[in-house]
Structures are given as structure tokens and as C-alpha cells.
Structure 1
């Protein structure tokens, strides 16, 4: 029997948003992922990382849906909705900066964007990410480093030359 999975729903929503880039698809992906998790609950090993298992199911559900439907993914316009609720009003400058960071994050190639989210937001280890995505740990480290360089470069005005842009976005398989 699975432990309480509801505490992992916010992480699943964040990951689903990064995968789909469409706030309208987030709840559908999370719901489908949770349904698959419940249906396949016998495959979860007690004592293993439940969050990583659920994120892996979310990833596989997205990939399966993407392959099946070949849906064109759109840009994101929800920064205000993703900021944590606060009793103090959010400064307009902070909202604009957050929107710019999200837009630049979403412009990263899929592999880099996913790994950056899992490492930085979900605080997963390189090994957990590698196991979840079924890729070598060196690939995780490389993509994460390149994602950080690319995001930092975009925030500072972008790479100066086409060669620098290609190097920043090159993915190692």
C-alpha cells in the first residue's frame, strides 16, 4: 500500500508545468500520473523515494502522451499564478523579473530544462535524476551545467556569437 501521496502533488504540478509549458495541461497530466501511480502501486518498493517514483511516472506519462498526440507546446503566461501566495503584495518589478526568468527557463531545450527543475527546484541528486530519466549521471551533470550557463547567459543578455549560442544549448546524449 502506498503512503500518503498528496504531499507530493505540488512537486508533480511544478514538474508537469515544466514538461507541458501549458498551464491548461498541468492538472490533466498530474491526474493521469496519479491514476497510473495508484493503478501500479504494487510496483512501488516500500522504503524507496516516493517523490522520485511519482515524478518518474509523471515524466513517462508526459512522454507517452507527447509521442501519441504530437501536441505543439505553447509558451507560458502564468507567472502571477505560480508565485507563492503572500499576505504582502508582490512588487511589480519582482513579478516582471520572475516572468522573465520563467520565459528564459522555458526557452531552454527540454532535456536541460527538466534537469534544471529537478535539481534546483525539487532538490533531487544527480543519481536520482539519472535513475528517474534513465540516462547516465554524467549526462545529468553535463546538461545541468549547460542549462545553468545558458540561463545565466540569457539573463546577462545572451551569448555574443552564434558559436557561443550553439555551445550553450548543445545537449550531450
Structure 2
């Protein structure tokens, strides 16, 4: 006997790793990111009736996550937030030197990314890390496509400069 599948629920489950990465890029704390993802999933199921199956479910859920993050930051504005980045994914490689170099580069990139202004950081994460199109990023972030492209260009240049890959002019 075969179980009936629920495409919406399957889509939510498939989106969890991407939502977690996006949440980490926004809040930079594992515990807060977990709460943010949980809140996003709850909101997605509550708003399930408004989901258009013709749209990309991941982009829709990332928009929900971003709105949840905005709600959290508005509530915590007076308190201020301490952010930490320390949980880097394991890099599988048998060469110890390459593993160490890769981890250091990943850490340096993460630290440099977190120093960027939030609008640039958000666009970089949504487009470069999450693999969203410019149009999807614009919908998620609630900005025009042209703004996505300009923030992405400025963010990439700033990140490359911070990483020492290019020199400022």
C-alpha cells in the first residue's frame, strides 16, 4: 500500500537546508536561525492556501523567512544583537593541508561577508549562495530587479576587496 504524498509538505522539507543557510546569513546565530526557520515553516503552513503552485516554493518560503526576520529585528531593535559565525560546514578532502586552507578561506569569506552592509549581504546570499534568479531575489527582498543587480555588483566588488582579491581604486 502506497502513502499519498503531499507536494507542498515535500517542498517544505526540501527547502529546509536552504532556509537554514539563509537564516544563518541574516542572524548569524544557530539558535536564532533555528527559531527563524521554525517560524517560517509555521507561517508557510498557515499561508498554504495563498501559495500559487505555479511559483517556486523555495522563493516563496525565503520571502516568508525574510519577513519573519524583519519582524524579529524590529522587536529587538532597542536591545541590540551579538552575532557570531563559527559553524562552518565540514570540507571533505583527504589532503590535510588543502582542508586547512579551505577552512581558513571559508572562514575568511564568511567573516568578510558579515562585514558587508545588510542589503548587499542579503542579495549575495540569495543569488550566490541560494542560487535564486535575479527576479526571484527581487521578489524575496521586495526590491526592483535593477536594485538586485546593482547591490550584487557592489557586494561582489566589496567582498573581493575585503578578501584581498582586488585592490580598491
Superposition TM-score tier, normalisation by shorter sequence? 0.7 to 0.9
How far apart are 1:3 and its partner, in Å? Answer: 4.2
- How many positions carry a matched residue from both structures? 159
Task: Choose from 29, 35, 47 the match for 2:42.
Answer: 35
The separation in 2 between residues aligned to 1:114 and 1:137, in whole angstroms, is 14
- Can you give the 5+ residue segments of structure 1 that lack an aligned partner in the other structure? 165-173
Specify the alignment match of 2:29 in structure 1.
Answer: 22
Partner in structure 2 of residue 86 of structure 1: 92
TM-superposed deviation, 1:153: 0.7
The structural deviation recorded for 1:115 is 0.3
RMSD over aligned Cα, in angstroms? 2.0
Q: Is the 8 A contact 1:21 1:73 kept in 2?
A: no
- For residues 2-45 of structure 1, the C-alpha deviation after alignment (integer angstroms, 9 at most, x for no partner) is 24110110000000001102222110100011111111111101
How far apart, in 1, do the equivalents of 2:154 and 2:99 lie?
31
The correspondence for 2:17, drawn from 4, 10, 17, is: 10
Q: Cα distance, 1:156 vs. partner?
A: 1.1
Among 108, 123, 139, the alignment partner of 1:131 is 139
The structural deviation recorded for 1:72 is 2.4
Aligned counterparts of 1:97 and 1:121: Cα–Cα separation in 2: 16
1:121 aligns with 2:129: yes
Matched, 1:72 2:77: no
